[in-house]
């Protein structure tokens, strides 16, 4: 590995990459009219990296992948579908996008913002599940607001 490659790898460590992609994805969601929350627990015990509530009550989940190893060893993202209307992977610009499942939406982001490169398929939630998730989302947001 060259000195430049080592420097580049150190400059883009996983925690920094994860934080930057998460922040940029949340900013993008807000720019698109959604209200994002980070690290949201789901009824199945999983945790969504970014969950966002849209102006019409639609729910989007974005799974942040810090690198190719993270994507290859973590397949729990398939369990998020029953809890959202749309699912996206959110990755850094240098992520090898060709390995991602093409059935999912794709967001490329850094700490300053992001862009949707591929729209997610829309699968509307059942009304009862939407109501339960929306109430849980609202309660979580309200409780977090008094902790800060």
How do residues 109-121 score in pLDDT, each as one tens digit?
999 999 999 999 9
How do residues 50-70 score in pLDDT, each as one tens digit?
999 999 999 999 999 999 988
Domain boundaries, the chain: 12-147
pTM score of the predicted model: 0.88
Give the position of tokens 């993008």.
28
Question: Are 51 and 61 contacting, i.e. CB atoms less than 8 angstroms apart?
Answer: yes
Residues in contact with 21: Cβ distance below 8 Å, sequence separation at least 6, in sequence order:
64, 65, 66, 90, 91, 92, 109, 110, 114
Q: What region, left, alpha or beta, does residue 90 occupy, with left being phi > 0 and alpha being psi -120 to 50 degrees?
A: beta
Residue 83's nearest CA partner among 112, 28, 46 is 46
């Amino acid at each position: 590995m060259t000195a430049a490659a080592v420097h580049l790898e150190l400059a883009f460590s996983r925690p920094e990459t994860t934080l930057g992609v998460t922040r940029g994805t949340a900013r993008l969601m807000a720019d698109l009219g959604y209200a994002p929350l980070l690290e949201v627990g789901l009824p199945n015990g999983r945790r969504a990296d970014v969950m966002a509530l849209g102006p019409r009550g639609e729910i989007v989940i974005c799974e942040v992948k810090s690198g190719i190893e993270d994507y290859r060893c973590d397949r729990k993202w398939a369990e998020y579908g029953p809890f959202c209307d749309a699912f996206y992977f959110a990755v850094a610009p240098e992520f090898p996008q060709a390995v991602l499942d093409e059935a999912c939406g794709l967001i490329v982001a850094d700490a300053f913002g992001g862009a949707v490169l591929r729209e997610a398929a829309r699968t509307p939630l059942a009304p009862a599940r939407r109501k339960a998730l929306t109430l849980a989302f609202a309660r979580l947001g309200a409780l977090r607001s008094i902790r800060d």
